[in-house]
Amino acid sequence: MYFQSVTFDLDGTLLDTIADLAEGCRLMLEEIGAPPRTPAEVHSFVGKGMAVLVERCLTHGGQPPSEAQMLTAIDAFKRHYAAVNGRLTRIYPGVSEGLEAWKASGLKLGVVTNKPAMFTDALLDHVGLRHYFEVVVSGDTTAHKKPHPEPILYACRKLGVDPRFNLHIGDSKHDLHAARAAGCSAYAVPYGYNEGEPVDSADCDALVSDLLAACRQALTIKDLHHK
């Protein structure tokens, strides 16, 4: 079996967005008068989408925020993050080269992220990567977010590819669990966020140093299939 399509996680896989996220959180917490969080804390909070990020920022001593606090904080975060989205973001090493190689291979490419669509499209446009992808699935595109398989299954339907022939690449256990549940192969990159937990090579089909290495690995599999 070889791949017909590849779906990529966004934050922590294609893009290092932590500086923008930390600044959005800082401005949000400052506006609502909540205690600040360090960039390292925000780094460990990223992974399950905007609402979880905000909730983790507001949770102290095991005491979660009230519904009213959450609504106020989410509204503030949306405004502040929209203003800084992409400003401090950087493309990870190997991503541009990797996407060029993937595109040249003829495979269909997509993004599957837990980031809300109001931020995803603007960010991909800002960094100049949007043109690589035939489909972009955001955190609010389907009823569920990763680690639920539905976002990846949705991407496969849009790409017209059986999930068995899709490869998903991410930086976290949520990506790996979503890919497995969707019936896809899964590669992991060792950098990124993953809520402070290193990715275990036992949980994926391959642990690759970057996207270019991932492409070379996948194309090697394809070549072996044809021999």
Residue 160's SS3 state is: coil
Contact partners, residue 109, CB within 8 Å, separation at least 6: 5, 6, 7, 8, 99, 102, 103, 132, 133, 134
Q: How confident is residue 175, by pLDDT bands cut at 50, 70 and 90?
A: very high
What is the reported pLDDT for 227?
A: 45
Q: Give me the chain's average pLDDT, please.
A: 93
What is the reported pLDDT for 74?
A: 97
Both structure tokens of 31: 């506006």
Q: Which of 9, 20, 171, 175 is the catalytic position?
A: 9
174 conformational bin, left if phi > 0, alpha if psi -120 to 50, beta if neither? alpha
What is the reported pLDDT for 226?
A: 46
Task: Answer with the residue of higher pLDDT: 225 or 17.
Answer: 17
Residue 91's SS3 state is: strand
Respond yes or no: is residue 11 known to be catalytic: no
Omega within 30 of 0 (cis) for the link into 65:
no
Cα-Cα-Cα-Cα torsion 97, 101, 107, 113, nearest 10 degrees, comes to -10
> How far apart (Å, rounded) are the C-alpha atoms in residues 77 and 45?
14
Contact partners, residue 25, CB within 8 Å, separation at least 6: 37, 42, 53, 54, 57, 77
In this prediction the pTM is: 0.92
pLDDT digits (tens, 9 = 90+) for 71-94: 999 999 999 999 999 999 999 999
| CA atoms 182, 118, 73, 13: torsion sign | positive
What is the reported pLDDT for 203?
A: 83
Q: Mind giving me the DSSP string for 45-87?
A: HTTS-HHHHHHHHH-BTTBPPPHHHHHHHHHHHHHHHHHHTTT
Residue % of the chain over a pLDDT of 70: 96
User: Is 80 exceeded by the pLDDT of residue 221?
Assistant: no
Residue-range domains of the chain with CATH: 5-16+91-226 (3.40.50.1000), 18-84 (1.10.150)
- Give the relative orientation of helices 211-226 and 95-105 as an angle to the nearest 10 degrees: 30
> How far apart (Å, rounded) are the C-alpha atoms in residues 107 and 95?
16
